[in-house]
Each structure stands twice: as structure tokens, then as C-alpha cells.
Amino acid sequence: MGKVFFTNGNIMDVKAEKIFKGSILTEDGVIKEVGADLTAPADAEVVDFGGGFVSPGLFNCHTHILMSGQANPSKDMGEVETIVDALGNCKKHIETGVTFIRDVGGSKYYDIQIRDMQRKGKILAPEMQVSGRNICMTGGHGWSSGREADGADDARKAAREQLRAGADWIKLMATGGVMTNGVEPGSPQLTEEEMRAAIEEAHKVGARTCTHAQGNTGIKNALRAGIDSIEHGFYLDQWCYDWMKEHNVYFVPTLSAMYWIKVNGVEAGIPEWAVKKVNGAFDAHKKSFYEAYKAGVKICLGTDAGTPFNFHDRTAYEMVLMVEDGMEPWDAIKSGTVNAAELCQVEKTHGSIEPGKVASFTVYGADPIADINAVCDCRMTVIKGKVAFCK
Ligand SMILES: [Zn+2]
């Protein structure tokens, strides 16, 4: 691929919380030099950032590429349509600056195959980590596409099945949820023993674990069982914040999931039972997010893309919601870059613009620190030194 000299950018140093005018020299997809006074080597291709604001490549740490944001996701689509839409969803991520996704709950292992096609360069998609089928109790949240498991031995087997299929993550359903009729977000589902068995299997091979966890009892079960990240987290409390900080557990609040259901509502075709559950937990969720942030829990950007009206081109809007709910703009940017890279254990190669790291960038038209809404205007996406999108 050779050398590429990216110039005329406002480079965002997310770790130092500084922005400076400068250039980036990359070679074979890796950053070689970053600075204010670099000159282009004679043998380098030159790419103009156009004065844009250059962030490290944006992560979305909670996606469902096999779901496309339809009002009622339990209405089944055909297999071909599902796959074609999934490839379109990957493209939408690229076109809105997303260079890395963590997909947390697919069906039939299609997510694993799509990840492998991305790695082979066969499709236009962000880099990705995937989780195969979610593991839930019989009849629990997500059962229709998940692997139902009952008892610790079965949960262990279910985790081994996902790892055998090639999952990077094990996704466990600790509580009920919004998008499955007849289950309540607050009620615990998989037991602590079941989750501990599955988590042990994942950790044995260096895989990570995350949990759909909305109610307080289920969240605590997952934390005590050794989970690595809490998704949604409607009803967190001080005990949870303390535990999460002590054990380096990440929080992926997915504010978008609730927001898009609330603003669209039953009129748009979202099932009434789902809207009701969102309205019942909306304020508690915002409170948990703000308290966790203030307590110093590490927060990562994820949207739950694929849930109703939560389309795959809306990742950046999560940062707008986070700032509206009290987060500092730099921290919102970090949630989708450095923090996200740590969550996915790729922080040595991703998450900031520094020599030695992968040359993946998201270029915004204006300064997102001055006005966070700028993140919704992605001008260019660069993945491993290649311009994957430009407008
Ligand atoms: Zn989800």
C-alpha cells in the first residue's frame, strides 16, 4: 500500500484533550509520524483532510448488524434480505465515520462469517468483533435468535459452542429487556452461577464477556459472576459503580436505543409493550448514566444499532445524547475512541492518533468540542490508511 501523507487537518489528540493543525504520515496502514511541521515524502500519495477535525476512528461497541432498525424487529425477514441488509448496514457505518464495531448478538453465526469476510477484504465494513448467538435462559430476552441455556453446565456448553464457532465475545442475558414481549427489563434471568460458568469458559481462551443487564439484581449477578461489560444498565447503584471501578468493568449505556423508541413511539409502528417499557425506565436510565459517569466508571459508546429506528448511520448521535445528559465533549469523544479500544482490548493498536497505531480516522467538518453536533457531519473515513469514504 505504501506511504500516504494526510495533510491539512485539525488533529485531535484525545489523550491530551488538544487539537492542533497538522499532518499524518502513514505506511502500509500504520501511523509513522504525526506533527505540525511534517513534509510529504516524495514517494507518498497525498490526501487532503480539507481542514476537517481528525478524530481517531470511531467505535460503535454495541451493534446488531443483522437487524436494520425496523419498527418491529420480531417480524422475521428472509435470510437473503437479512444478509444483504447487513452488508448495507456495514456500509452505513463506514459512511458515518465508524471504523470498528463490536456486534453483540446475531443469529445463525452470520455475524462471524461477515467478520471473516471483512478481514479477508471481501466487503466494505468496519473492523469488527462479534459474539455469535446470545446466551439466554429458556424463554428469556432474545430467545428467538439466542442459544437458550438452563443450569451452569448448559451455560458452559453454550459458551463453548459460541467460542467454537469463532466468537470474540460471549453475550449473556442477565435480565429481561425491552424488545422481547412478555419479559420485564427489571427481572433477573440467567443466574449468577450460569453466567459464572460461561464467563470462565470465555476467559480461559482470552475472549471477553458482556451482558444485556437492565434491572439491578441481574446487573449485580453479572458483576459478581465476573462480567467485563454492562450493556444498557438502567438501574445501577453505588454498589455497582464501586464494583465496576474496582474490577475495571465497562459501561455501554446505549442511550440511543431508548431515545429512538421514545421519540418515534407507537404511532410509528413500534409495539405498544416495547414503548411502555421504555417510558417506564427512561428517567432511571439517564440517572444511571450520569451517576456512573460522575463516579468515574469507564463509559464506552454503543448505540444498540438495529433496534427500532436506531439505524446503522446514527452512531455519532450517541455522543450528542451523552453530552445532553451531562458528559463533557472530550469524554464523549473518548467513549468512542480510547475507552472503546480498551474495552475491545485493542488499545495498543487503536483508539488514538499516535505513531505505531493503525491509521483509522474519522474526519468531522467542524470542531466537535465547540459543538458536539459536529460529529453528525462526517466528511471522511479512513481505515488502515485507505480512504473508505469521502464526501
Ligand atoms: Zn443490543
Residues 217 and 272 reside in one and the same domain: yes
Residues 202 and 233 reside in one and the same domain: yes
pLDDT value for 381: 98
Ligand 1 center from residue 278 Cα (angstroms): 14
Residues 86 and 153 reside in one and the same domain: yes
Cell numbers representing residue 12 in the block: 485531535
Local structure of 159: helix, strand or coil: helix
Q: What are phi and psi of 155, to 5 degrees?
A: -65, -40
Its sign, for the CA torsion 263, 180, 229, 306, is negative
Structural domain contains residue 325: no
Q: Is 121 exposed, middle or buried (0-12, 13-18, 19+ CB in 10 A)?
A: exposed
Report, as ranges of residue numbers, the positions in the chain whose pLDDT lies below 70: 74-75
Residues 133 and 209 reside in one and the same domain: yes
Its sign, for the CA torsion 178, 183, 188, 192, is negative
Asked if residue 196 lies in contact with residue 152, where contact means CB atoms within 8 angstroms, the answer is: yes
Structural domain contains residue 20: yes
* CA distance linking residue 205 with residue 161, whole number of Å: 13
Alpha carbon distances (Å) from 197 to 133, 190, 218, 246 = 17, 11, 16, 22
Asked if residue 89 lies in contact with residue 306, where contact means CB atoms within 8 angstroms, the answer is: yes
Ligand 1 center from residue 371 Cα (angstroms): 28
Residues 164 and 139 reside in one and the same domain: yes
Q: Which domain holds residue 360?
A: 3-56+352-390
Strands 53-56 and 361-364: antiparallel
Ligand 1 center from residue 304 Cα (angstroms): 5
Choosing from 298, 315, 332, the residue where a domain stops is: 315
Ligand 1 center from residue 59 Cα (angstroms): 15
Structural domain contains residue 12: yes
Residue of 215, 256, 255 lying closest to 235 (CA atoms)? 215
Ligand 1 center from residue 77 Cα (angstroms): 18
Ligand 1 center from residue 302 Cα (angstroms): 9
Ligand 1 center from residue 106 Cα (angstroms): 10
Structural domain contains residue 11: yes
Residues 78 and 117 reside in one and the same domain: yes
Residue 75: CB atoms within 10 A of its CB come to 9
Residues 203 and 85 reside in one and the same domain: yes
Total of domains in the chain: 2
pLDDT in tens, 45-91: 999 999 999 999 999 999 999 999 989 876 678 889 999 999 999 99
Structural domain contains residue 332: no
Q: What are phi and psi of 8, to 5 degrees?
A: 60, 50
pLDDT value for 77: 80
Ligand 1 center from residue 240 Cα (angstroms): 20
Choosing from 290, 315, 340, the residue where a domain stops is: 315
pLDDT value for 73: 73
CATH number for the domain including 7? 2.30.40.10
CATH number for the domain including 144? 3.20.20.140
Structural domain contains residue 118: yes
Ligand 1 center from residue 24 Cα (angstroms): 35
Ligand 1 center from residue 223 Cα (angstroms): 18
Residues 103 and 247 reside in one and the same domain: yes
* CA distance linking residue 147 with residue 297, whole number of Å: 30
Structural domain contains residue 220: yes
Residues 71 and 38 reside in one and the same domain: no
How many residues are there in the chain?
A: 391
Ligand 1 center from residue 338 Cα (angstroms): 21
Ligand 1 center from residue 74 Cα (angstroms): 14
Ligand 1 center from residue 246 Cα (angstroms): 25
Residues 303 and 361 reside in one and the same domain: no
pLDDT value for 184: 85
Structural domain contains residue 322: no
Residues 138 and 45 reside in one and the same domain: no
pLDDT value for 186: 86
Ligand 1 center from residue 67 Cα (angstroms): 10
Ligand 1 center from residue 158 Cα (angstroms): 19
Ligand 1 center from residue 178 Cα (angstroms): 10
Residues 373 and 279 reside in one and the same domain: no
Ligand 1 center from residue 104 Cα (angstroms): 6
